[in-house]
């Protein structure tokens, strides 16, 4: 974890499932109250993201009162700690070769307030928002669904594009080829005769050096030419989280046929958001299992029960 101004307290990031459990499935409200008190006492810090705000509004359906309640909670417990968009954080590391500082990691307060005000306006309009592409009125839930579907298609395309590179890297690790993972990742032809479950298990146990080369190639493919070594991985938490999530999904597909889901787009963003935090809190068992398979992960994952334990310890 990168040193930041909140290093004296535990930093947590909530995904949409955790936020829903805290405010909807916890009728007594003790978890929400516990978080507010812990934040007020500076025992924990809560970081949020535009993706959580968007999914909160879209996921509440016609219950706009529930959406407003969630937004009000986030505004109180994470005020001043709204992260920039995942792509901006990733791009920062590509440009600068290191993680952003607190100043560069978070939105300015006026930008943060604009995100909340625009989201509340969507609630007031019955879930209707303007499409940024053509200015037409759209239901935000439909827009988010389309965004997730587009992310799913892009991930499937990227998986196909890297399949041969993964296979060649696997063969190289077994001494069956002189191929370099950094040189073969871009190859798109499919190989035959590979034990896919064994290949998936290899991805899950990939060495730090091989993983660093994959991060280098990923950054280069996006226009940022950098040579990343194993020692550099802690300096690039957002890039490593994105690469780790992607490789874990590929491994899951090879080992037991796991498919890319539409929600994976936002799950990846939550992982990127947690890159410089201590803990990603989620009640999504599938996401917890996937994070456990990431070859490199700069954060921990915990559920609501563990969050309650953290709050209990901080209150002592």
Asked if the model's pLDDT at residue 112 lies above 50, the reply is yes
At residue 42 the predicted structure's pLDDT band, cuts being 50, 70 and 90, is very high
pLDDT at 175: 58
At residue 256 the predicted structure's pLDDT band, cuts being 50, 70 and 90, is confident
Q: Give backbone dihedrals phi and psi of 47, rounded to 5 degrees, phi first.
A: -105, 140
Asked if the model's pLDDT at residue 274 lies above 90, the reply is yes
| Residue partners of 201: CB distance under 8 A and separation at least 6 | 251, 255
pLDDT at 194: 64
pLDDT (tens digit per residue) in 149-186: 999 998 888 777 776 666 666 666 665 444 444 443 43
What is the value of pTM for the model shown? 0.87
How far, in Å, CA of 2 to CA of 275, rounded?
A: 9
Lowest mean per-residue pLDDT among 110-124, 128-142, 176-190:
176-190
pLDDT (tens digit per residue) in 209-254: 888 988 888 888 788 988 999 999 999 999 999 999 998 888 887 7
How far, in Å, CA of 216 to CA of 97, rounded?
A: 11
pLDDT at 68: 92
Closest CA to 193 of 178, 210, 209, 174: 174
* Other Cβ atoms within 10 Å of 30 Cβ, number: 12
Domain extent listing, the chain: 10-314
Residue 13 bridge partners (DSSP): 47, 280
């Amino acid at each position: 974890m990168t040193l930041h101004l909140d290093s004296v307290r535990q930093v947590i990031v909530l995904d949409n499932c955790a936020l829903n459990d805290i405010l909807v499935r916890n009728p007594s409200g003790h978890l929400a109250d516990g978080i507010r008190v812990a934040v007020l006492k500076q025992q924990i810090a809560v970081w949020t993201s535009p993706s959580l705000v968007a999914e909160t509004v879209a996921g509440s359906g016609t219950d706009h009162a529930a959406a407003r309640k969630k937004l009000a909670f986030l505004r109180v417990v994470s005020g001043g700690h709204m992260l920039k968009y995942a792509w901006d954080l990733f791009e920062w590391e590509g440009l600068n070769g290191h993680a952003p500082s607190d100043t560069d990691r978070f939105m300015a307060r006026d930008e943060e307030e604009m995100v909340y005000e625009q989201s509340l306006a969507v609630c007031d309009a019955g879930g209707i928002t303007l499409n940024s592409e053509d200015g037409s009125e759209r239901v935000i839930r439909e827009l988010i669904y389309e965004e997730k579907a587009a992310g799913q298609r892009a991930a499937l395309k990227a998986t196909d594009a890297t399949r041969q590179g993964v296979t060649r890297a696997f063969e190289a690790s077994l001494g069956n080829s002189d191929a370099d993972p950094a040189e073969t990742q871009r190859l798109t032809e499919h190989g035959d005769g590979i034990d896919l479950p064994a290949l998936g298990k290899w991805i899950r146990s990939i060495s730090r050096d091989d993983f660093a080369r994959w991060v280098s190639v990923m950054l280069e493919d996006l226009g940022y030419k950098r040579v990343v070594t194993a020692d550099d991985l802690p300096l690039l938490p957002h890039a490593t989280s994105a690469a780790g999530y992607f490789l874990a999904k590929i491994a899951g597909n090879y080992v037991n046929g796991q498919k890319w889901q539409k929600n994976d787009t936002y799950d990846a963003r939550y992982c990127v958001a947690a890159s410089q935090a201590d803990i990603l809190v989620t009640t999504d068992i599938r996401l917890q299992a996937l994070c456990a398979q990431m070859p490199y992960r700069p954060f921990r994952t915990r559920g609501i029960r563990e969050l309650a334990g953290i709050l209990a310890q901080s209150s002592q």
